[in-house]
Amino acid sequence: MSRRRASDVARPSRASGKKSRASTQSTRATNSPRRRATTRDNARTTRVPSRRRRVLWITAASLLVLASLGVGARWLLQQPLFRVQHVTIIGLRHESRSAVLRVSGLDTRPSMWWLNVHQVRSRLERFAWIDHVTLQKRWPNSVVVTVSETSPVAVAFKSGHVLEYVSPRGRELGVAPLNVNLPTLRYTGVVTPWPYAKAALASAYVASQLPRAFAAQVSVISEDTKGNVSLKMTTPVTFVLGPATNLHAKFVAVASVIAHSTLGPGDVVDVTVPDELAVTGPPPS
């Protein structure tokens, strides 16, 4: 048996050394920063499309669900259960119920969801006797209409010598008896079929503001083409108010004159400037 020298045992073979060095270099190459970055980029490139697909699928599914819910809700709200079936009208005396239902559109049984409260109220307030309207929805299919009617504040003659009630807005409210205890409006401008809702609106407004202290004593309210208003009393004394402004102060002056002054029939008191009253006698006959 041959003896091996110690140097032969301890010295690795050249092939083994080469292989070892190759393995080490391979490991270094694998663990190098450039190699690791390339590996991460490949993995990221694989994950990004997959994540985007998931997001797109989730978005599409969500939109589909929302669209289905919208269509379903619309279909549900258009069913008879959610259409106007019961209408209660409170406070209506002068206008007919059938006319109010027709003008409001509630007789067509609209959808509760699409019912425009402001539009219905605007339509109903066009009626002469209706001053204000409140509309309340009571789900699923009922509507309550509360009407506040106006009151006549004066009367005026229409063409054909027909006496009509007048509202605070100057509207015609219907035929009035000749002996009614309300002031009569007169317009000194060009006579039209009914000037008190436009050109002579100031006289109707003054009639609506008359205080209780002397309202019953006012016989005629006249207005000229410039908007100047005069009150002819039952005494008969005339108070010139001028424009329909600062009415509170002017009415206080009128009440003071009535209470503390001795006036004769036909006297004219100008209260256009309440602090500077001017009293003149009746015009010469």
CA contacts within 13 A on the Cβ side of 48: 6
Q: Do residues 201 and 208 lie in contact, with contact meaning Cβ atoms separated by under 8 Å? A: no
Q: Do residues 125 and 135 lie in contact, with contact meaning Cβ atoms separated by under 8 Å? A: no
Q: Looking at the predicted structure, is the pLDDT value of residue 270 above 60?
A: yes
Q: What pairing do the DSSP bridges indicate for beta strands 218-223 and 184-187?
A: parallel
CATH class of 154-280: alpha beta
Would you kindly state where each structural domain of the chain is located, as residue ranges?
Answer: 13-77, 81-149, 154-280
- Cα separation of 118 and 99, whole Å? 18
**Looking at residues 135-153, what average pLDDT do you find?**
95
**Looking at residues 80-99, what average pLDDT do you find?**
93
Task: Write the DSSP string, 91-127.
Answer: S--SS-HHHHHHHHTGGG--BTTT--HHHHHHHHTTS
Q: Looking at the predicted structure, is the pLDDT value of residue 6 above 50?
A: no
Q: What pairing do the DSSP bridges indicate for beta strands 268-270 and 278-280?
A: antiparallel
Q: Give the confidence band of 282 by pLDDT, cuts at 50, 70, 90.
A: confident
Check the CA dihedral 47-50-51-52 and report its sign. positive
Q: Do residues 118 and 129 lie in contact, with contact meaning Cβ atoms separated by under 8 Å? A: no
What's the pLDDT score for residue 226? Answer: 94
Domain spanning 81-149 has what CATH number?
Answer: 3.10.20.310
What's the pLDDT score for residue 193? Answer: 83
> Cis peptide before 152, with omega less than 30 degrees from 0?
no
End-to-end CA distance of the chain: 173
**Looking at residues 128-150, what average pLDDT do you find?**
95
pLDDT tens digits, one per residue of 251-266: 999 999 999 988 888 9
Percentage of the chain modeled with pLDDT above 90: 60
Percentage of the chain modeled with pLDDT above 70: 77
pLDDT tens digits, one per residue of 205-244: 999 999 999 999 999 999 999 999 999 999 889 999 999 9
- Cα separation of 41 and 259, whole Å? 103
What's the pLDDT score for residue 262? Answer: 87
pLDDT tens digits, one per residue of 27-64: 554 455 555 555 555 555 555 567 777 777 788 777 77
pTM above 0.85, yes or no: no
